[in-house]
Amino acid sequence: MTGDGTPTGDLGGDGNLDILDVISLINIILGQGPTPTPGSQSFQAADVNSDGALNILDIVALVNLILNPSPPGKTIAHITATVYVGLDPVQTLENRRQRVPVSLTTDAPVAGFQMTVRYDPSAIRLLEPEPTDRLGDLSMEWSDIEGVMQILIYSTTGQPIQPGQMPIVFIPVDLLTQEGTLTLDQFIAANPQAGSLPVTITTGQLRVSTLPAVFSLGANRPNPFNPSTTITFEVPQAAHITLTIYNILGQEVVRLIDEQRSPGRYEVAWNGRNAQGAGVSTGIYMYRLISSTGFAEAKRMTLLK
């Protein structure tokens, strides 16, 4: 109960706890409704777990109250586990649309989470986030205001996200400039008892760049070099890529890349060693890029010792 006798979680003040209160709380957290003043009766009603903050933990606690209005007869041990979350590398779909997966790894159920992603709106436009199959019947709400996207995932049935490792949300991106950066600024995870789970952000920042229009092989830098150099190349469409170093006689020295690559810009370093790990001698070497689409290009570089 709050100071005036209003049930905790009764944001509507009608004496009932229902989905309308959940929606009101979500709007407050996402900045889409009036934020109650800390210490006020409205704040006490919204701060369901009484920790002084309004976030996903209160949503899970409120849903628990709605589903189980009578206090349990005995204390239930809180489930604890460390949650690992991060921004995975950009994915490029067949229509060249790009999206950023947000992956969650946990060995215990997660009843809900809240994340904040920041970006420069003059460089990037974020589109509506897409929940993955891992979320099942969980609900998602989100807001995107002046370079800050907030995403809430919660259950209205008490069914949590099961343990595992895979993406939970895809964030589609639309670049307005050559490149931009996404930052996973905050992530709050709740266990089924509305307690806070420890969170480790594994990859909190990700650079997104426009896709190349054509295949290309860049000049290595530095050149001449000693002991290592970096080679850049661009891939406009999914293809099998090989990048091979040859000596002046045309003999293969080492194959740096031999795998399928998605569209994007890449760089790879060569440390002046052959396939057996032995250092090669001073001289002129060729590096050649070949794609399964038929593109091929070669350039020269000089190793000095």
pLDDT tens digits, one per residue of 21-40: 999 999 999 998 888 989 88
Domains and CATH numbers, the chain: 83-209 (2.60.40.680), 216-303 (2.60.40.4070)
Report the alpha-carbon angle 239-240-244, nearest 5. Answer: 130
Query: CA-CA distance, 302 to 225, in Å (whole number)?
Result: 7
| pLDDT at 24 (0 to 100) | 92
In 176-282 the beta strands, taken as DSSP E runs, fall at 179-190, 196-197, 199-203, 205-209, 216-217, 229-235, 239-246, 252-261, 264-270
| pLDDT at 3 (0 to 100) | 53
| pLDDT at 73 (0 to 100) | 47
| pLDDT at 76 (0 to 100) | 46
| pLDDT at 75 (0 to 100) | 44
| pLDDT at 206 (0 to 100) | 96
pLDDT profile of the chain (305 residues), mean per 10 = 67 85 92 87 91 93 85 51 92 85 93 96 96 90 95 89 92 92 95 91 94 94 96 94 97 98 92 96 97 98 94
Neighbours of 177 (CB within 10 A): 11
Query: CA-CA distance, 165 to 182, in Å (whole number)?
Result: 21
| pLDDT at 60 (0 to 100) | 93
- Three-state DSSP state, 185: strand
Q: In the chain, what's the furthest Cα-to-Cα distance?
A: 88
